[in-house]
């Protein structure tokens, strides 16, 4: 795999074997979370751009990619807590964090429950709205009465079917094989447990959103039929400190619009998050002055 800028390693974190990749050291840090049903190789087309000024640590979340699973972590809130432990393990002080797809809800829980731990968050293409606004196979997976029928299907076929939604990016053979091999055996069916908690977890997250002060960049695909853009709009309307960008893509924005995605993220890291924070702080001061004047 010498033709890839991403070289993977494994570390034991919280008792689990977690696969990760790391770029050169820089003053600023960013933690990247694998989307589903992919792996940390989803960041291959943006890796070089993102690593130019920022030290990257990308991980396969537990139960996803090639990281070991713990069933108790297969929910957004639990995964959000694990993400904070990962940042602690790698000594990442106030890192930026990028979590497309399933990372969206995990990072927002992390930001809500650990104020100030993350410098900024980039999310999108992940279920967020409640009542649920999902489509395609994701809707079917979340709403299925049980998972027995999926246990009889070749998981490589399921993953390959999901990857057909990648419309412009030609998946390198080694990346495709990494995705397919990530969910062999019972790994895909068991990973479905994460999104199947959405009906109970997303209402809790919805109520936490207005209190999240961490700057949040939301990136979504205008033609995403699996996680429609209404999910991104739902977040932007409720988060007090957010920026929304809808790009011309389907679900896999980080691969199909890799150049634009990298530009949005690096611009956000380079100053966009600070601008958003300043605007938020000014608004908070104004609200406090108005409240004091009325009292």
ω into 131 cis (within 30 of 0): yes
Instruction: Please state the φ and ψ torsions of residue 34, each to the nearest 5 degrees.
Output: -65, 140
Q: What is the mean pLDDT of residues 98-109?
A: 98
Identify whether the C-beta of residue 235 lies closer than 8 Å to the C-beta of residue 147: no
What's the predicted TM-score (pTM) here?
Answer: 0.93
pLDDT tens-digit series, residues 186-204 = 999 999 999 999 999 999 9
Measured CA to CA, the distance from residue 90 to residue 62 in angstroms comes to 16
Please, which pLDDT band fits residue 295 given cuts at 50, 70 and 90?
low
- What pLDDT is recorded for position 275? 73
Longest dimension (CA), the chain: 66
- What pLDDT is recorded for position 271? 84
Measured CA to CA, the distance from residue 203 to residue 68 in angstroms comes to 28
Reading the block at residue 34, the tokens are 């694998």
Q: How many CB atoms lie within 10 A of CB 1?
A: 11
Q: What is the mean pLDDT of residues 91-106?
A: 98
Residue of 162, 226, 188, 166 lying closest to 64 (CA atoms): 188
Q: What is the mean pLDDT of residues 216-228?
A: 98
Identify whether the C-beta of residue 176 lies closer than 8 Å to the C-beta of residue 163: yes
291 has pLDDT over 50 = yes
Measured CA to CA, the distance from residue 84 to residue 41 in angstroms comes to 21
Secondary structure of residue 41 in the 3-state scheme: helix
2 has pLDDT over 60 = no
Give the rounded percent of residues in the chain with a pLDDT score beyond 70: 94
Which stretches within the chain are classed as H helix? 44-51, 76-89, 103-113, 136-143, 148-151, 155-163, 173-182, 187-195, 198-208, 230-238, 253-256, 258-267, 273-294
Please, which pLDDT band fits residue 288 given cuts at 50, 70 and 90?
low
1 has pLDDT over 60 = no
231 has pLDDT over 80 = yes
pLDDT tens-digit series, residues 247-287 = 999 999 999 999 999 999 999 999 877 777 777 677 655 55
- What pLDDT is recorded for position 282? 72
List the 96-100 sheet strands across, edge first. 8-13, 16-22, 54-59, 28-33, 96-100, 120-124, 216-221, 242-247
Chain mean pLDDT for the chain: 94
- What pLDDT is recorded for position 52? 96
Secondary structure of residue 134 in the 3-state scheme: coil
- Mean pLDDT is lowest, of 7-16, 130-139, 231-240, 279-288, for 279-288
Secondary structure of residue 253 in the 3-state scheme: helix
Domains of the chain (ranges plus CATH)? 8-294 (3.40.50.1820)
């Amino acid at each position: 795999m010498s033709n890839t800028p991403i070289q993977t390693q494994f570390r034991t974190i919280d008792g689990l074997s977690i696969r990760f990749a790391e770029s050169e050291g820089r003053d600023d840090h960013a933690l990247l979370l694998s989307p589903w049903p992919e792996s940390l190789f989803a960041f291959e087309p943006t890796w070089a751009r993102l690593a130019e000024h920022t030290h990257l640590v990308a991980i396969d979340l537990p139960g996803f990619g090639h990281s070991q699973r713990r069933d108790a972590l297969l929910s957004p809130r639990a995964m959000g807590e694990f993400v904070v432990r990962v940042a602690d393990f790698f000594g990442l002080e106030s890192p930026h964090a990028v979590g497309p797809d399933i990372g969206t809800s995990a990072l927002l829980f992390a930001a809500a429950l650990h104020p100030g731990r993350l410098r900024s968050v980039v999310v999108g293409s992940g279920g967020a709205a409640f009542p649920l606004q999902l489509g395609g196979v994701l809707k079917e997976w979340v709403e299925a009465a049980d998972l027995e029928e999926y246990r009889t299907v070749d998981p490589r076929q399921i993953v390959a079917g999901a990857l057909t939604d990648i419309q412009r990016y030609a998946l390198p053979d080694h990346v495709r094989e990494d995705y397919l091999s990530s969910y062999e055996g019972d790994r895909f069916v068991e990973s479905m447990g994460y999104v199947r908690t959405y009906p109970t977890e997303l209402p809790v997250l919805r109520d936490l959103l207005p209190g999240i002060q961490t700057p949040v960049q939301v990136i979504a695909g205008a033609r995403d039929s699996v996680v429609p853009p209404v999910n991104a709009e739902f977040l932007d309307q409720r988060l007090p400190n957010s920026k929304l960008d809808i790009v011309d893509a389907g679900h896999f924005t980080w691969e199909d619009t890799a150049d634009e995605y990298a530009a949005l993220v690096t611009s956000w890291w380079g100053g966009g998050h600070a601008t958003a924070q300043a605007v938020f702080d000014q608004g908070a001061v104004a609200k406090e002055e108005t409240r004091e004047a009325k009292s």
